[in-house]
Amino acid sequence: MFDDKSILITGGSGSLGRALTKRLLHFHRPRRVIVFSRGEKAQGEMRQMFPESQYPQIRFYIGDVRDYARLKLAFTDVDYVVHAAAVKEVPTCEKDIWEAIKTNVGGAENVQRAAIDMGVRRVVALSTDKASSPVTAYGATKLLSDKSFVRGNVYAAGTQTSFVVVRYGNVACSRGSVIPLFLSQRQYGEVTITDEHMTRFWMSMEDAVDAILWALENCLGGEIVVPKMPSFRITDLAEAVAPGCRRKIVGIRLSEKLHEQLWSPEESRQVYDCGAYYVIYPETVDWTLNYGILKAAKQVPEGFSYRSDTNGVWLSSSGIRELLQREGIDV
C-alpha cells in the first residue's frame, strides 16, 4: 500500500521516526518519505544516515506541529501521516504544563485540521501507556490527544481522511528509556532503581514500527491499537544490562506508576482481541467488527485491563539480554 505513496512523519527525526524511515526506504517503494520536525541538528544526523544521493525519495522539512499553516503546506500531496511529535519527558511536562498542552493537544488539533483540509488518507497518532488512567500532565495531554483523534473521524465524515491511534509503553532504547541509563551506570558498578517491584512491557523499535504499519493497513478510523507485549521486572532488566552491579534504590519518581496499563477496566467493553493486537473500538462505531481481518476478533472479558504486572507473558534476564543483543546493544 506504500508503493508510489507519500508518507510524512511528524517528529520524524526522533528514534522511532528514524526506524520507520529506514523500514519504508528499505522494504517499500514510496514516492516520498517526509521527515517533519523542529530538530535541525537531528535532521542533519539523519541526512548522513539517509543521503539524498542514495535515497532520492527522502525530504526534510523543518516545522512545528503548533504551526497550522506550516503543517497544511507540508501535507500537500501526502497520502499517510504518522504523528509522532510530542513533548514527552514527564518532568518537563510537569514543569511546563502549558507548553505540553500546546504541542500534545493543540498540535494534535492542527494535524487533524491540516489532514482533512489537504486530503490525507490516513493519520496514525502515537500514544502511550501513560494516557490510560493518567496521573501526570504528560499522560493527561496524551489522553486528550487520543480522544481528539478518535473523535476526529466524526469531523472528517464525508472526506477520505481517517484517524487511528497506536498506544504502547516504553520502547527499548528510545528517548526516556532506562536502558541507556543502566548502560552508562554499569561502568561504575552501581545502577539506580526507583522501586524493586516495578514492571514494564517490553517493546523493541521494530515492534513499534510493525504496529504503526499494521494500523495503517488494517484500521478504518477511530480505533486505538494496542500491541501484545511481554512484561519484565525492572530488577531483571538491571541484571541483563549490568550483571553483578550493585543496586541503589532511589525511590519512585513524582507521579510514576509501578506498573504500565494500556487501558482501564472500564474500557474493556470496547476492547477486542485481534491476534497480535488488541483493538479498542470507539463506542459510537460498530462497522469495524465486520471488516476484513477484524471479523475474527473476540471481545475481552469485561473488567479485563492490560497491565504489565498481571500479564501472562514474561521475560527473564537472559531473555532480555538476548533481545538487547538482537537490537545491536552490547550487553
Q: What is the pTM of this model?
A: 0.93
The arrangement of strands across the sheet holding 298-299 comes to: 58-62, 32-37, 6-10, 80-83, 122-126, 162-166, 224-227, 277-280, 271-273, 298-299
Flag whether pLDDT at 176 surpasses 80.
Answer: no
Q: What whole-number distance in Å separates Cα of residue 176 and Cα of residue 171? A: 9
Cell digits of residue 36: 517533519
Flag whether pLDDT at 288 surpasses 60.
Answer: no
Nearest to 230 by CA among 199, 205, 256: 199
Q: What whole-number distance in Å separates Cα of residue 236 and Cα of residue 315? A: 8
Give just the sign of the alpha carbon dihedral 206, 208, 212, 215: positive
Cβ neighbors of 330 (< 8 A, separation 6 or more) are: none
Predicted local confidence at residue 91, as pLDDT: 87
Higher pLDDT, 177 or 220: 220
Q: What whole-number distance in Å separates Cα of residue 35 and Cα of residue 103? A: 17
Q: Cell numbers 470507539 correspond to what residue?
A: 282
Q: Cell numbers 550493585 correspond to what residue?
A: 246
Nearest to 124 by CA among 78, 157, 58: 78
Q: At what angle do helices 107-118 and 137-155 cross, to 10 degrees?
A: 20
pLDDT band of residue 35 (cuts 50, 70, 90) is very high
90-131 confidence digits (pLDDT tens): 889 999 999 999 999 999 999 999 999 999 999 999 999 999
Q: What is the mean pLDDT of residues 300-320?
A: 94
Q: What is the mean pLDDT of the chain?
A: 92
Q: 6-171+203-229+261-306 — its CATH code?
A: 3.40.50.720
* Side-chain half-sphere exposure of 31, counting CA atoms within 13 A: 8
122-166 confidence digits (pLDDT tens): 999 999 999 999 999 999 999 999 999 999 999 999 999 999 999
Give the distance from CA 221 to its chain's centroid. 17
Flag whether pLDDT at 175 surpasses 90.
Answer: no
Flag whether pLDDT at 286 surpasses 70.
Answer: no
Q: What whole-number distance in Å separates Cα of residue 290 and Cα of residue 178? A: 41
233-271 confidence digits (pLDDT tens): 999 999 999 998 999 999 987 778 999 999 999 999 999
**Residue 155 three-state SS:** helix
| Domain parsing of the chain, residue ranges | 6-171+203-229+261-306
Q: What whole-number distance in Å separates Cα of residue 120 and Cα of residue 81? A: 7
Q: What is the mean pLDDT of residues 26-42?
A: 96
Residues carrying an active site annotation: 130
Q: What is the mean pLDDT of residues 51-77?
A: 97
Name the phi and psi angles at 249, rounded to 5.
-85, 120
Flag whether pLDDT at 293 surpasses 80.
Answer: no
